[in-house]
Amino acid sequence: MSNFALRISDFLSIHIWVPSIGITVLLLSAQPALSHEAWLLEPKTMLELFDAPLSGVWQSVSVVSVSIAAALFLAMVLAEYLDRRFQPLEQRLDRKYRDRMRHIALLILRVTLGSMMIAAAIGFNPRYGTEIFAEPTLFVPDLELTGATTAASIVAGIQLLAGAALVLGLYVNLASVVTIILVAVGFILFGPQIMLSYAGHLLAPAIILIAEDPDRFEHNNPRDAHVEKLVQRAFPFLTLERSLVMMRVMTGLTFMYLAVMDKFLHSPQLEAIIESHFMPTFGIPPEALVFVMAAVELAGGFALVVGIAERLVAGFLIGAMLFFALVLGESPLLHANIIGILIAIILLGPGYIDTKQSLRPGRERITFATVRIVAVAVVATSVALSSLWVSDLRARVPAADARLVHYTGSEATQPRLDGVKITQLDDQFFRVDIATRGFLFTANQLRADDLPFQGHAHVYAGSTKIATLYGREGIVGPVPDDVTILTITLMNTLHCYVSTNNGVLIIEALIHRSTEHNYFN
């Protein structure tokens, strides 16, 4: 009886549950808001801006681009100097407070990641145009599951359980492995172009949580200890120091990817956010402000990757993210995992493959610093000369954002393909009349109508496409004599299948051939 009471007391222990649940409630209590280019704009608006021309600062080398690049170079050189100057003091503090900071960092990592997963699974933070709790997502608002897979409820349920386990400190190592598997599922459902925007910020905390032994804020009992040890034995190479290196490198690479893909290549989208949400620009033109944001994000990510003043850079990025959250009215939950990672970097440091290498001889330290400064110069030069590579790279990026293919909106706006009427005109040509609802036929890239579902239809005779219809009616052919069925699919303006809650809109129509034809003039 005493053992049972002891277990109950441990289960209800304040030092275990209060920190986890307290942080989670704080995050979830914030007003849900929208963030990120793909979260803060309607899919329709994103399509309109996808191929919009770049602003002047992106089209040619200018005083603005060179000045910003030069300022970044000087700032990173200064950061490298300060980092080396105060490194001995920093490492003495690490040795003194490392264990205490480790517990706090692990708590923050698992609770921020778990809270975000819970909110995504229940649809608490939807993307623009979707009602709260109406659409389960995978980690972030724009990865809507219903349009991406028929197993949306299963994926959301697994995500909910893993998130709850992380928040409550139960089977943390196992929940971290499940999180990594869910990231892999995201690559399958949404493709690498999209998931690379999020994967590093999701995998980084999961990897470090796999490697770590249970901490004093984690609820443990003999039953889950076996599972924890089994998972840790499967990843013996993941020590704390190595995990820290992997965490900051993956985080930095993701920042760099976001800077290039979402800001350098698609700056009109962010400019639209600044203007539509009345974000203060302090007299700076929106296009110049976006250029500064892109350059800083690229440089900050690079600094984390190569190891330049990691704690200083992490603190600066936290400040920048909180500022934009404040001016845009964002919920802290949307970027909770990223802020958790940056806080962990501040608390635990950059990590070293071998702790004995943390204090290097003077000559070797100078060599490493020189290599980093040269790399910084290359990054700064690429920013200054971005107009020489942005347009070319932008043309190579796929024209369709897969997140838009899965956009479904509310039930009232769901498109339908009700039927097809086929009239024979001669031996091989037929008139096709398509009955739809909630779908606008258009030959344009996008029209300024309220319907989010717009595009055209593809007509197939067997496996061969014989026509593209930009209206409800059209003449198709020639249809081979041995073909008795025409297949019609609705496509969006980016030539992707229109997907709804009920799947891809496709219908098969039987051909009735006769010797009497309705010849057309």
pLDDT tens digits, residue range 155-195?
Answer: 999 999 999 999 888 888 889 989 999 999 999 888 888 88
pLDDT above 60: residue 482: yes
Report pLDDT for 38: 52
pLDDT above 60: residue 320: yes
Report pLDDT for 223: 57
Q: What is the mean pLDDT of the chain?
A: 76
443: Cα within 13 Å, side-chain hemisphere: 5
Rounded CA separation 444/455 (Å): 8
182: Cα within 13 Å, side-chain hemisphere: 33
For the stretch 408-439, pLDDT in tens is 444 555 777 888 888 888 777 888 888 887 78
- The dihedral built from the CA positions of residue 259, 260, 262 and 263, taken in this order, carries a sign that is positive
On the 0-12 / 13-18 / 19+ scale of CB atoms within 10 A, 32 is: middle
pLDDT band at 353 (very low <50, low <70, confident <90, very high): very low
Of 2 and 344, which is predicted with more confidence?
344
Q: For residue 192, what is the enclosing H or E element?
A: helix 192-195
DSSP 3-state of 216: coil
For the stretch 59-117, pLDDT in tens is 888 888 899 999 999 998 888 888 878 777 777 777 777 778 888 888 899 999 999 99
DSSP 3-state of 56: helix
Query: Which of 410, 437, 418, 513 minimizes the C-alpha distance to 127?
Result: 410
Report pLDDT for 117: 94
CATH architecture, range 410-510 = Sandwich (2.60)
N residues, the chain: 521
Phi, psi of 327 (to 5 degrees): -75, -25
For the stretch 11-36, pLDDT in tens is 444 445 555 555 555 444 443 333 35
Report pLDDT for 342: 93
Q: Where in the chain are the domains?
A: 2-396, 410-510
For the stretch 202-237, pLDDT in tens is 999 998 888 776 666 676 665 556 666 676 676 676
Report pLDDT for 45: 64
Looking up tokens 């799947």 gives 503
pLDDT above 80: residue 458: yes
